[in-house]
């Protein structure tokens, strides 16, 4: 049998295959390059997770403070009558309305009891606050006001609104006021809610104890100026804010806490809180009480010296965490939230955060109560 022959004519004399040593060197170089690429990728991924986590915390903190600030700032607002007239309440099944002085309430929940005693309006909540966090409760007109399209002939309804900026619907709690009177009632029907000349009825029965207002409200002058006219109609808001367990966990198995809102004007029984902002672990609050000297003293809600009627400003502190593990090590830092120290799980601090590989940041602000500074 003939053996095959190969023509090697014309090939360079030094053309040969790779040696084992050369292959090993090339493999080592490849592994070094690959290892460097993996290191760079891992570092970039970690940096991206940190940046993304911080962005989410910043967004959550700003949104939470904006919601709280906008609502708390309006405490006691009822139009022209701020700070002087107690409204006539026609509505049934509504919050315990004690305007103007009782438009603000604060308390602390320690897992089994409240200090001061739990507000009666919050007893129907289906979610309890997180241990050792604060609860704040505010009542006021919404601020999205309108006027009557026509003056009332008598003290019974219906009333006709020039506009409906609050998108009022049947069942909503409303307040109507001028500089001498204020009435709170529940709408039993709203017609033309999408346009002008909206007709609102407030019949007696299950929604209201009476269908007679304390005053026949009027618009001043022909085609009254919607800006300067002192008569106003708006939704009445009564909201409690607190931190509670969202019933969700992080990938590492830690509880995710959130900021919740409880609307006590609803006819729902029991009232169901609404989750507003995810990742809010703690809320601590200080109340700025005006002293006879005119100075402002900041006290916690459970301080016996606090007179809530004399509060003119509120300091809110939030501790916000990511919902994913984005750091390489467990969080062992201590945070200052509204002058309260919140430490890691193994610390000696009274208040503690959840630790773990979550990123956290604090957010603090001071809110002036516009209707308590007159």
DSSP string, 288-304: EEEPTTS-EEEE-TT-T
pLDDT band, residue 369 (cuts 50/70/90): very high
Return the structure tokens found at 293.
């000297």
Q: What's phi and psi for 326, nearest 5 deg? A: -120, -5
Closest CA to 76 of 366, 310, 242: 310
What is the pLDDT at residue 326?
A: 85
Read off the pLDDT of residues 195-214 as tens digits, 9 standing for 90 and up: 567 999 999 988 999 999 99
Distance (Å, whole) CA 345 – CA 352 = 6
Are the CB atoms for 135 and 106 separated by under 8 Å?
A: yes
State pLDDT tens for residues 41-94.
565 555 666 678 888 999 999 999 999 999 999 999 988 876 678 899 999 988
Give the per-residue pLDDT at 226: 46
Predicted confidence (pLDDT) per residue in 301-341, tens digit? 999 999 998 999 999 999 999 998 888 889 999 999 999 99
- How much is the pLDDT for 28? 76
Write down the pLDDT at residue 96. Answer: 86
pLDDT of residue 314: 97
- Report strand pairing: 88-89 vs 182-186: parallel
pLDDT at 251 over 80: yes
pLDDT tens readout for residues 9-48? 555 555 556 677 767 777 778 777 777 766 665 655 556 6
What are 120-133's pLDDT values in tens digits? 888 877 678 999 99
Residue 223: is its pLDDT beyond 60?
A: no
- CA 65 to CA 263: how far, in whole Å? 18
Hey, is 306 helix, strand or coil?
A: coil
Position 373 pLDDT exceeds 70: no
pTM of the predicted model as reported, rounded to 2 decimal places: 0.84
pLDDT of residue 224: 46
């Amino acid at each position: 049998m003939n053996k095959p022959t190969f023509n090697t004519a014309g090939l360079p004399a030094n053309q040969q295959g790779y040696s084992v040593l050369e292959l090993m060197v090339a493999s080592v170089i490849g592994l070094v390059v690959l290892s460097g690429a993996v290191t760079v990728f891992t570092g970039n991924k970690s940096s991206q997770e940190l940046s993304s986590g911080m962005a989410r915390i910043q967004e959550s903190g700003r949104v939470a403070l904006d919601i709280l600030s906008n609502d708390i700032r309006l405490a006691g607002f009822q139009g022209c009558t701020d700070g002087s007239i107690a409204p006539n309440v026609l509505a049934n099944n509504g919050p315990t309305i004690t305007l103007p002085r009782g438009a603000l309430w604060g308390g602390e929940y320690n897992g089994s009891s409240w200090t001061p005693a739990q507000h009666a309006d919050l007893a129907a909540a289906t979610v309890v606050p997180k241990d050792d966090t604060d609860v704040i409760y505010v009542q006021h007109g919404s601020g999205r006001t309108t006027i009557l399209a026509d003056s009332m002939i008598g003290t019974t309804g219906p009333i006709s609104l020039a506009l409906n900026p609050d998108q009022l619907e049947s069942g909503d709690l409303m307040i109507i006021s001028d500089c001498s009177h204020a009435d709170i009632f529940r709408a039993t029907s709203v017609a033309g809610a999408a346009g002008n000349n909206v007709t609102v009825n407030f019949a007696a029965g299950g929604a209201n104890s009476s269908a007679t207002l304390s005053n026949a409200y009027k618009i001043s002058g022909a085609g009254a100026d919607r800006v300067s006219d002192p008569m106003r109609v708006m939704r009445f808001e009564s909201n409690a804010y607190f931190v509670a367990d969202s019933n969700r966990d992080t990938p590492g198995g830690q509880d995710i806490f959130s900021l919740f809102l409880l609307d006590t004007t609803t006819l729902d029984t029991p009232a169901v809180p609404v989750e507003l902002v995810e990742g809010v672990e703690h809320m601590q609050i200080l109340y700025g009480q005006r002293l006879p000297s005119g100075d402002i003293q900041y006290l916690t809600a459970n301080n016996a010296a606090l007179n809530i009627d004399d509060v003119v400003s509120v300091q809110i502190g939030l501790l916000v965490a990511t919902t994913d593990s984005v750091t390489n090590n467990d969080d062992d830092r201590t945070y200052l939230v509204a002058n309260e120290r919140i430490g890691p799980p193994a610390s000696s601090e009274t208040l503690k955060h959840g630790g773990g590989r979550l990123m956290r940041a604090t957010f603090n602000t001071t809110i002036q109560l516009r209707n308590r500074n007159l």
